[in-house]
Chain A
Amino acid sequence: MNNSNINSIIFCLMNKMRKTIEHINEKIRNGEVVVVRADEMPDIFDENPERAVREVDIVTTGTFGTMCSSGIFMNFGHSDPPIKMQKVWLNDVEAYTGIAAVDAYLGAAQLSEDKGFEYGGGHVIEDLVSGREINLRAISYGTDCYPRKKLNTTITIEDLNQAMMFNPRNSYQRYNAATNSTSEVIHTYMGTLLPGMRNVNFAGSGELNPLINDPDYRTIGLGTRIFLCGAQGYVAGEGTQHSPKTGFGTISVIGNLKEMDPEFLKAAVIQNYGTSLFVGIGIPIPILDEEIARNTAIRNEDIEVDILDYGVRRRDRPIIKRVKFEELLSGRIEINGRKVKTSPLSSIKKSIEIAEKLKELILEKEFFLSKCVENLPRDTEFKEMRMIERIPRVKDIMTRNVITAKEDDSIDFVSNLLVKNQIDQIPIVNNEGKLVGIITSWDITNAIARRRKRLRDIMTRNVIVSKPDEYIDVVARRLDKYNINATPVVDDKYNVIGIISTADLIRRDIEVGKR
């Protein structure tokens, strides 16, 4: 036997050992495929890496969390006489119809016009998939080919010609956790955050997370077949805000809504924030070589999560602490020596169910792998918005000559100050000029009605304040939230250095109290 013959035999053997997606699909067909869940893989791999690569064919992942950047394209068919929809509502939730006459896109985060936060696009999508009847309402300007101007009917998912889920951003590779250092409760897309960092909310399914199991996107990209809310969907490419260099990759996905299962798609209400949709996604990772296998062996204790301070209302929020996903899952972490409770916002139970379901589908020969046409890019940058206007800060527009009073001053004296200066509130300071309270004209009225004499008995001690470097939009939101007309501006030592009122903001054309 000559050298070239030996080489070709070795090449053939190597080729046989090298796993491909075609080989794995063949094994699915023959009932020989070995599938394990992402949470089972770490132990299998650590025990014998070579054997894990050789024997495991597919690792299934799963996640089930609220993903606001989700929605559906629909075609309603034509009415008679026909209409070119200019605006359209499903159960009073507006969909975007700036495309062809009876096509529309409904986003999960769109709020209902009559129920507000309690019902939105996510709920319409869940109702459709559950087979419930939906009110469809549209208006138009009327054209020669589409004369109708108004439409009001009832539909179900069966009546739609097409209903395609297309989610521009799903399944974050990882996500930051959230806490709140301020002294007030805040309601965010990361849930309710108690004051003084009393809780931490986190998202994602850790070691079950699809993208974290293939962080170099070697098997994931346009055309990868996935489990999407119970149907077989596809990765449509990188998701919006895809940021691979920071480990925050995302995917956009597409799938047929008519094939979806309401068990894996659920509407969500995020308190005082809006509506969303729990989306269930599972991605099968083919184990083609040792590197891919090693990546799927990631454990919750290997995953680092930054806890950010959502009390800071800026784009870049400070990092309070870096912890492991495992610690977050334990229900308690430590911040500054104190035990703090944690809540996942994604369902770990459902995530496991999805990975398990995907495994079963493959074993039952109902789900085959696809080779992606183009892998997710690894060099996309997530850019910040280009801004051309300068947003004023509190110090730019606040009133600097603040009239203040002392705790020992009489109510008569303070009411005279209010009248003489034509103002509605007076910050109360101590002898060092530090803020201790505030008096409004309403407090004075109240004091007279209840026959109170001393300022310290009627002043509000828990004063809502602003800082000179805050953006005025943040202050506008604060005034709105607490239904007040002004806040004293204090420096870091709590000295009163100014006051900012709704009047100051209105002069700057900032909307206050729009809710």
Chain B
Amino acid sequence: MNKYILRYSSDIVDSPIIATTVLETGILINILRAKVDYDEAELIITILGDDEDQKMVIESLRRKGVEVIRLGENIVNDDTRCVDCGACIALCPTNALSFNEEWKLVVDGEKCIICGACIRACPRRSLSLQDLQEI
């Protein structure tokens, strides 16, 4: 599932960008995280649809002056540093972190919404964010 960061500035922050895009394209958008301030907004979304649909939504957003960046693999865990203590698990709002049957920490990048809570709480500094990919 592809995730995108949307950024836009104060000039368009009060217009219903997402709603308009959904109506225009007929493609559903799922908002995972949103931070809207008086001067700028940052959203993380997934687009429900195939590659063509993705392209259509991205183009529609860009026409409205929205910056669109695709997210890479989200959080990554450095197995050589991790001790599988699990301090990160309960902090994750989307259950992207869990133990497998052998009590080893596993990361489900699909579920991650890049909130960063786990990264700050990791006592081993083994979790990090992958670079964002420009498209």
Instruction: Please report A residues at the B interface, Cβ cutoff 8 Å.
Output: 64-66, 118, 191-192, 194, 199-201, 266-271, 276, 278, 331, 341-350, 352
Check if B84 sits within 8 Å of A269, measured CB to CB: no
Which residues of chain B come closer than 8 Å to A192, judged between CB atoms? 87, 91, 117, 120-121
The distance in angstroms between the C-alpha atoms of A349 and B102, with both chains bound, is 7
- If A268-B124, A269-B123, A343-B89 are given as contacts, then 10 extra A-B residue pairs at C-beta distance below 8 Å, sorted by A number, are A192-B121, A194-B91, A267-B124, A271-B121, A276-B123, A345-B123, A347-B84, A347-B86, A347-B103, A349-B102
Supposing A342-B90, A345-B87 touch, asked if A331 and B98 sit within 8 A by C-beta, the answer is yes
| Interface membership of B104, Cβ < 8 A | yes
- Select from chain A the residue with minimum beta-carbon distance to B38: A450
- Select from chain A the residue with minimum beta-carbon distance to B83: A347
| Interface membership of B55, Cβ < 8 A | no
Within 8 Å by CB of B86, from A266, A267, A345, lies: A345
Check if A199 sits within 8 Å of B84, measured CB to CB: no
Check if B124 sits within 8 Å of A191, measured CB to CB: no
Within 8 Å by CB of A349, from B88, B90, B104, B121, lies: B104
Check if B90 sits within 8 Å of A269, measured CB to CB: no
Complex interface bits, B27-44 against A, C-beta within 8 A gives 1, otherwise 0: 000000000000000000
Which residues of chain B come closer than 8 Å to A65, judged between CB atoms? 85
Instruction: Please report B residues at the A interface, Cβ cutoff 8 Å.
Output: 83-91, 98-99, 102-104, 117, 120-125
The 8 A-B residue pairs with the shortest CB-CB distance in the complex, in nearest-first order: A341-B90, A268-B123, A343-B90, A199-B90, A349-B103, A348-B103, A349-B84, A347-B85
CB distance from B124 to the nearest CB of A (A): 7
Check if A348 sits within 8 Å of B83, measured CB to CB: no
Which residues of chain B come closer than 8 Å to A348, judged between CB atoms? 84, 86, 99, 103
The distance in angstroms between the C-alpha atoms of A276 and B125, with both chains bound, is 13
Check if A346 sits within 8 Å of B120, measured CB to CB: no
- How many residue pairs bridge A and B at CB < 8 Å? 72
Supposing A349-B103, A352-B103 touch, asked if A343 and B124 sit within 8 A by C-beta, the answer is no
- Select from chain B the residue with minimum beta-carbon distance to A269: B123
CB distance from B44 to the nearest CB of A (A): 20
Supposing A348-B103, A349-B103 touch, asked if A331 and B89 sit within 8 A by C-beta, the answer is yes
The distance in angstroms between the C-alpha atoms of A342 and B87, with both chains bound, is 9
Check if A201 sits within 8 Å of B85, measured CB to CB: no
Within 8 Å by CB of A200, from B87, B90, B99, B125, lies: B90
The distance in angstroms between the C-alpha atoms of A191 and B90, with both chains bound, is 11
Which residues of chain B come closer than 8 Å to A200, judged between CB atoms? 90
CB distance from A280 to the nearest CB of B (A): 10
- Select from chain A the residue with minimum beta-carbon distance to B120: A271
Check if B85 sits within 8 Å of A345, measured CB to CB: yes
The distance in angstroms between the C-alpha atoms of A349 and B106, with both chains bound, is 13
Which residues of chain B come closer than 8 Å to A118, judged between CB atoms? 125
Which residues of chain B come closer than 8 Å to A350, judged between CB atoms? 83-84
- Select from chain A the residue with minimum beta-carbon distance to B122: A269
Which residues of chain A come closer than 8 Å to B91, judged between CB atoms? 192, 194, 199, 343
CB distance from B98 to the nearest CB of A (A): 7
Within 8 Å by CB of B85, from A194, A278, A342, lies: A278
- Select from chain B the residue with minimum beta-carbon distance to A350: B83
Check if B121 sits within 8 Å of A344, measured CB to CB: no
Which residues of chain B come closer than 8 Å to A201, judged between CB atoms? 87, 90
The distance in angstroms between the C-alpha atoms of A245 and B89, with both chains bound, is 33
Check if A343 sits within 8 Å of B103, measured CB to CB: no
Q: Can you spell out 28 A-B residue pairs with CB atoms less than 8 angstroms apart?
A: A64-B83, A65-B85, A66-B123, A118-B125, A192-B117, A192-B120, A192-B121, A194-B90, A194-B91, A200-B90, A201-B87, A266-B124, A269-B124, A269-B125, A270-B123, A271-B120, A271-B121, A331-B90, A341-B90, A342-B89, A343-B86, A344-B86, A345-B85, A346-B85, A348-B84, A348-B86, A348-B99, A350-B83
- Select from chain B the residue with minimum beta-carbon distance to A450: B38
CB distance from B1 to the nearest CB of A (A): 23
Which residues of chain A come closer than 8 Å to B86, judged between CB atoms? 343-345, 347-348
- Select from chain B the residue with minimum beta-carbon distance to A266: B83
CB distance from B103 to the nearest CB of A (A): 4
Which residues of chain A come closer than 8 Å to B88, judged between CB atoms? 343
The distance in angstroms between the C-alpha atoms of A346 and B123, with both chains bound, is 11
The distance in angstroms between the C-alpha atoms of A199 and B93, with both chains bound, is 11
The distance in angstroms between the C-alpha atoms of A448 and B15, with both chains bound, is 26
Check if A344 sits within 8 Å of B125, measured CB to CB: no
The distance in angstroms between the C-alpha atoms of A192 and B85, with both chains bound, is 14
- Select from chain B the residue with minimum beta-carbon distance to A341: B90
